[in-house]
C-alpha cells in the first residue's frame, strides 16, 4: 500500500504594520507523513524533497568544490547531490540524474516530479500526495 503524504496550506493574515500597508497574507504549508507534521517554508520541489528525505534518515551536508556549491544527501553510503541554479535543480547520484524547475505551479506535476526524484535518486517509495 502506498504511503500517504498530506499537504495542508494555512494562511495567516498579518498586519502590514503601517496605515497604508493593509493586511498581508502569509502562506504556510505543512506536510504530514505517518502523523508527523513537517512545516514547509514553501511548496517547491526542493522543500518537499528535503523534508521527505531527512525524515527518511538522510543527512544533509553542504559541500564546495572549485566550481560550485552543492548539497549532498547521504544515507548508508548512498549519496545524492543537489546543484541549485536560480529556479533550476539538478539532482544526481552515481547512476541517475533528474533536472527540474524548483517552482511547479501545477500540483499534479509537482508531486509527480517529487516522486520521480524520490524513487530514481533516493531509492524511496513513491508517496500518495493529498492536498
Residues in the chain: 131
Question: Is the pTM for the entire model greater than 0.75?
Answer: yes
Taking only the tens place, the pLDDT of each residue in 62-110 is: 999 888 899 999 999 999 999 998 889 999 999 999 999 999 999 999 9
Count CB neighbours of 102 within 10 A: 17
Cell of 108: 499534479
Tens of pLDDT, residues 31-69: 999 999 999 989 999 999 999 999 999 999 999 988 889
> Which segments within 34-108 are labelled E, that is strand?
36-40, 59-64, 69-75, 78-85, 88-92, 97-101
pLDDT-derived band at 15, boundaries 50, 70, 90: confident
Residues 6+ apart with CB under 8 A from 64: 70
Amino acid at each position: 500500500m502506498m504511503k500517504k503524504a498530506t499537504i495542508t496550506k494555512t494562511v495567516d493574515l498579518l498586519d502590514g504594520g503601517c496605515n497604508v500597508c493593509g493586511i498581508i497574507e502569509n502562506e504556510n504549508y505543512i506536510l504530514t507523513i505517518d502523523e508527523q507534521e513537517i512545516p514547509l517554508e514553501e511548496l517547491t520541489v526542493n522543500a518537499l524533497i528535503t523534508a521527505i528525505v531527512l525524515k527518511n534518515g538522510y543527512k544533509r551536508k553542504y559541500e564546495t568544490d572549485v566550481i560550485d556549491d552543492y548539497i549532498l544527501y547521504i544515507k548508508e553510503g548512498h549519496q545524492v547531490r543537489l546543484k541549485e541554479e536560480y529556479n533550476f535543480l539538478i539532482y544526481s547520484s552515481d547512476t541517475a540524474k533528474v533536472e527540474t524547475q524548483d517552482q511547479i505551479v501545477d500540483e499534479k506535476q509537482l508531486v509527480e516530479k517529487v516522486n520521480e526524484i524520490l524513487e530514481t535518486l533516493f531509492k524511496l517509495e513513491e508517496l500518495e500526495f493529498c492536498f
